[in-house]
Amino acid sequence: MKKRLLMFVCLIMSLGLLGGCTLVRTNPKLDKKKLVKATDDLSKNFFEYDFQSVVDQYKDADTSTLTADQKKALESYKTYAKQQKKYKGFKKKVKSVYTLSGETATVAETIETKSGKKAVFTVNFDESGNPTEYKLEDYQSLKQVMQKAGLNVLMGIGIVFFVLIIIMFVIMAFKPIFASNKIIPAPKKDTANAETKSVSKPAPAAVSSKTEENLTDDLELVAVIAAAIAASEGKTSTDGLYIRSIKRHR
């Protein structure tokens, strides 16, 4: 089972490699040697062409009549003229890097100029192998690239910490406002005293009930005595009889 699985994986990888090779070689017009040779010629012609004379022709001219493409070309010529003054001419080629991207290709040529500085001349080619765009840039060594990347990382970290510090100060500024709006909690009730009071409250009710029972008994006793006195006097009613006090004798 493991052998079959391994064979299947190898087959898939082989098909992928074959497919990748097929995709790379889809356009036979993009010949590496021809494109590199074309880049060599373009880099030499770049330094031989007089871009400054073209810029001087439009120096005092009315550029408002130019089209957008013509204005863009004029700005490019101004940049190229400045680069010619900076590098002072072509000296020799150092190396070429050929890159194929689907139906297009790019050749980046590192050259040494008469000023002693290195530059990178890059040309883009279409599917027919015709140059569509070229540019000249300063050469950057691996050390310079790493230094630039390190500076970008440090700058990003610095910005993050700066924003965090600002947020911290903003929160500290709002802290007094939140403190002034704080709700004061109500004082806690003494539950022990409340329970004691609740327990001691029913006592008066018991006392009052006993008083009512005694009063009822006294009224019944008064009625019985009044009826007895009225009967002894031959009266049929207790009207006119007033009992002031009752004394019990043991």
Domain boundaries, the chain: 27-139, 142-181, 204-250
Write down the H helix ranges in the chain. 2-24, 32-48, 51-57, 68-87, 142-180, 191-200, 202-232
Q: What is the pLDDT of residue 22?
A: 45
Q: What is the pLDDT of residue 175?
A: 77
Among the listed residues 126, 138, 78, the one whose alpha carbon sits nearest the alpha carbon of residue 102: 126
The topology (CATH level 3) of 27-139 is Nuclear Transport Factor 2; Chain: A, (3.10.450)
Residue 70, pLDDT > 60, answer yes
Burial profile 164-173: b = 16 or more Cβ within 10 angstroms, e = fewer: eeeeeeeeee
Encode pLDDT of 168-178 as tens digits. 888 888 877 76
Residue 107, pLDDT > 60, answer yes
Of 33-42, 102-111, 119-128, 236-245, the one with minimum mean pLDDT is: 236-245
Encode pLDDT of 194-210 as tens digits. 555 555 455 455 455 55
Q: How confident is the model at residue 214 (pLDDT cuts 50, 70, 90)?
A: low
Residue 2, pLDDT > 80, answer no
